[in-house]
Amino acid sequence: MTAPLLAAEGLCVELGGKAILRDLSVNFPSGRFVALLGPNGAGKTTALKALAGLVPARGRVSIAGEALARISSRERARRIGYLPQGHAVHWPLTARDVVALGRYPHGVADPARLSKRDAEAVDCAMARTDCAHLAHQPVQTLSGGERARVMLARVLATEAAILLADEPTAALDPRHQLAVMDDLKGESRRGTLVIAVTHDIALAARMADEIVLLHDGRLVAQGSPEAVLTDANLAQIYGVTVARPIIDGQAALVPWALS
């Protein structure tokens, strides 16, 4: 039996003496788009960081059956692309140079000096996120939506098998929210395991292959959107009722009222 691409067993995280993540056990194959949902304080960001090995945790995380703890930090960076919250950039670089930073795990120290192979990876990432036309613009001059696409391209340039994104659509307008989610969905269809933290249950229901629902640091449910985003779960975890109109032949999910 083939080992899952990414798995966690009994994952626990304490920060400042407080339990943030409690006995989380999940596993994911490649080529899936997973939405990590839960109310504020549920432990979503901590779970994502723990899966990437970025916070101290008890339990076990493995990549293709190999313990994450035994993998060097450089090799982890090649296998896991991590996109943190926000799109702030503090470097006076062009958009293409920012994307080229995604090749650092492969030994690129200077984004202005790329090998042919590295340049191909950068150009491909920018093309897939529709930001190639921004290549020579200073990244600080870009709009929030443009910057979000550039930062996603930076992660894609690493060519990691696993992509972990923390609220990649936060503070974006609806057009750019859809564009970023489309990009993430596209990556999963190319074989990448994509796990994204989001507060947008409507987009998650429409786009994700799988939902992981957390509450108070614990796993509530894992499965298809239809199996997890039930009226009972949404009322219990979020305290809301939802409408489910049919749009273009597909059931949508719209938070409607307090339950």
Residues in a beta bridge with 7: 27, 62
Task: Return the pLDDT at 231.
Answer: 97
Task: Return the pLDDT at 104.
Answer: 95
CA angle 172–155–139, rounded 5-degree value: 60
How many Cβ atoms are within 10 Å of 83's Cβ, its own excluded? Answer: 23
Task: Return the pLDDT at 108.
Answer: 92
Domain boundaries, the chain: 6-258
Task: Return the pLDDT at 1.
Answer: 60
Residues 6+ apart with CB under 8 A from 97: 111, 112
Q: What is this structure's pTM?
A: 0.96
Task: Return the pLDDT at 2.
Answer: 73
One digit per residue, the tens of pLDDT, for the chain of length 259 reads: 678 999 999 999 999 999 999 999 999 999 999 999 999 999 999 999 999 999 999 999 999 999 999 999 999 999 999 999 987 777 789 999 999 999 999 999 898 899 999 999 999 999 999 999 999 999 999 998 999 999 999 999 999 999 999 999 988 999 999 999 999 999 999 999 999 999 999 999 999 999 999 999 999 999 999 999 999 999 999 999 999 999 998 889 999 999 9
Buried b / exposed e over 115-142, threshold 16 CB at 10 Å, is eeebeebbbebbebbebbebbeeebeeb
Task: Return the pLDDT at 112.
Answer: 84
Q: What class, spelled out in words, does domain 6-258 have in CATH?
A: alpha beta
